Amino acid sequence: MADAGRLIKGLADQYDENGMVVELQVLRKLRRILREDDFRVTVTLSRPVRRHHRTRVINIQAGNWTHRNFGLAVDIGTTTVYGQLLDLNTGQVLAEAGDYNAQMSYGEDVISRIIHAERAGGLELMQSLAVSTINGIIEKLLDSCKVSRDEISSITLAGNTTMTHLFLGLEPHNIRRSPYVPVSTFFPPIRARDDLGLDLGRHAVALVFPAISSYVGGDIVAGIMGSGMYRTDAQTLFIDVGTNAEIVIGNREWLACAACSAGPAFEGGGITHGMRASAGAIEDFSINPRTFEPMNITIGNKPPGGICGLGLLIIVATLFEHGVIDPRGKFNRDLRTPRIRQGKSGYEYVLAWKDEIRGESDIVINEADIDNFIRAKAAIYAGIMTLLGNVGLEVTDLEQVILAGAFGSYIDLDCAMTVGLLPDVAPEKVKYVGNGSLMGARMSGLSNHIRKDVVDVVHRMTSFELSEVDSFKDHYVASLFLPHTDISLFPSVKKRNIP
């Protein structure tokens, strides 16, 4: 019997694995490895998630190396990429690392990167930047735990549809053009090193999360898996708030999704003194109700350098709650305080004087900033209400609300309802899951059953294009106030009698 036949028979007899395929890279070293330790070998298998696909033998080692089996989980974010090193035997997370996406140099949002990818050599550049970012994270993870690249069996990756296309080198041209068609939403197992350039052993398999549509990507599918939403009986709202807000409603029986563009305000973009959530960013804020003097709390307790997305939400909510701004986001000019003044972009409120922080200018929030915020929150609220309406549900039907993503994980629920960013729901219904995308990637990397569930979830999902739903515009216009033109939709805000 040939060596490959003997190997396949042994696996079939011992592990009930039939119809396996031995990959060429294994065949090339099979004779030597089998005889190196008297036919005692460790075999790595790649099992399929779809019927009629065959299990593949992707690696073979002489002796018993089953105790050294590792995997990687990666969240390819538009701004930041995060990774985890996993022990595939125990499921333990051995190390975590993250870094800014190197593509940031060519635009902070996905549209800017698509435009750059359409230029000569642009797609190749975007792909190489994504790979270099991930390789840097891989190096940090492996070095921290003294794990060899050849000990990694798989890397599971989740990202939005654009990030996935750019990482795989797929043309994203039609993602931003009606009818918004991606090249593919499902991706086969990929050779991580030879096909993608990831710095891993030649046998390592890259497993990429499938997407739903152009603007509901694999990161949201991973979030649904990580949060457990797809297994619950409760009517659930899942929302990942960022430059693009992805919304999913449903339970174990059905799922519906949509995406809406909120703009960069929730990540500190498009704001006069906006900045990312880094040292010196104002992340919390309160105000003296008599003198209207502010108290700023910054990341790292550094002197204020700007406003991050979370800080922007709290500032707007606090100013509104104390009557400093009205429901339109306009300042109350009758208040006696030097903090409110006429600025270059209309009236503004001084959060920090330049002399106090030894900066080049005062840090302010102006009416244009607040207007940007109101439009961003209106888009998200309108998206939620439109999707609820399309599936025949009311806010009161929601039994659970799951908040995910970098912004959603730290969102102040009371402030979010005060300004009308989120529907008025009981706080006990709200659950924070953190980086759901990374959580789902980890779960999928550890279990073939989860990978099969991923395929089932994608097939069960119904996607709605909000721009084609007439009610979205109506909801959006009605939401361009704090918290809303119909205050009865926010009973917890109404009973506070905000001035």
Q: What is the mean pLDDT of residues 101-111?
A: 91
Q: What does the pLDDT read at residue 499?
A: 66
Report whether 189 contacts 46 (CB < 8 A): yes
Residue 289: pLDDT band with limits 50, 70, 90: very high
Q: What does the pLDDT read at residue 190?
A: 96
Query: Which tops the pLDDT comparison, 498 or 68?
Result: 68
Query: Which tops the pLDDT comparison, 79 or 247?
Result: 247
C-alpha to C-alpha distance for 188 and 174, rounded to whole angstroms: 21
pLDDT in tens, 294-308: 999 999 999 999 999
Report whether 327 contacts 481 (CB < 8 A): yes
Q: For the chain, list the domains and their CATH numbers.
A: 3-62 (no CATH), 70-208 (3.30.420.480), 229-264+373-494 (3.30.420), 274-368 (no CATH)
Q: What does the pLDDT read at residue 126?
A: 98
Q: What is the mean pLDDT of residues 283-288?
A: 97
Residue 165: pLDDT band with limits 50, 70, 90: very high
Residue 4: pLDDT band with limits 50, 70, 90: very high
Q: Residue 397 has which token pair?
A: 């039907």
Q: Please state, rounded to an integer, the average pLDDT across all residues of the chain.
A: 94
Kind and range of the H or E run holding 228:
none
Report which DSSP code applies to 92: -
Is 70 exceeded by the pLDDT of residue 91? Answer: yes
Q: Residue 310 has which token pair?
A: 């979370």
pLDDT in tens, 366-379: 999 999 999 999 99
AA identity, residue 499? P
Q: What does the pLDDT read at residue 13?
A: 87
At a CB cut-off of 8 Å and minimum separation 6, what does 153 contact?
44, 58, 59, 69, 70, 71, 88, 203, 204, 205
Residue 19: pLDDT band with limits 50, 70, 90: confident
Handedness of CA 257, 100, 199, 125 (dihedral sign): positive
Cα 108 to Cα 113, 132, 175, 270, 317, distances in angstroms: 8, 18, 17, 11, 26
Is 70 exceeded by the pLDDT of residue 396? Answer: yes
Q: What is the mean pLDDT of residues 108-130?
A: 95
DSSP E strand stretches across 160-305: 190-191, 205-208, 236-240, 244-250, 255-261, 281-287, 294-298
pLDDT in tens, 140-162: 999 999 999 999 999 999 999 99
Q: Residue 61: which of 73, 44, 77, 76 has the closest Cα? A: 44
By mean pLDDT, which of 386-390, 417-421, 433-437 is the weakest? Answer: 433-437
Q: What is the mean pLDDT of residues 27-33?
A: 95
By mean pLDDT, which of 101-105, 264-268, 325-329 is the weakest? Answer: 264-268
Q: What does the pLDDT read at residue 497?
A: 76
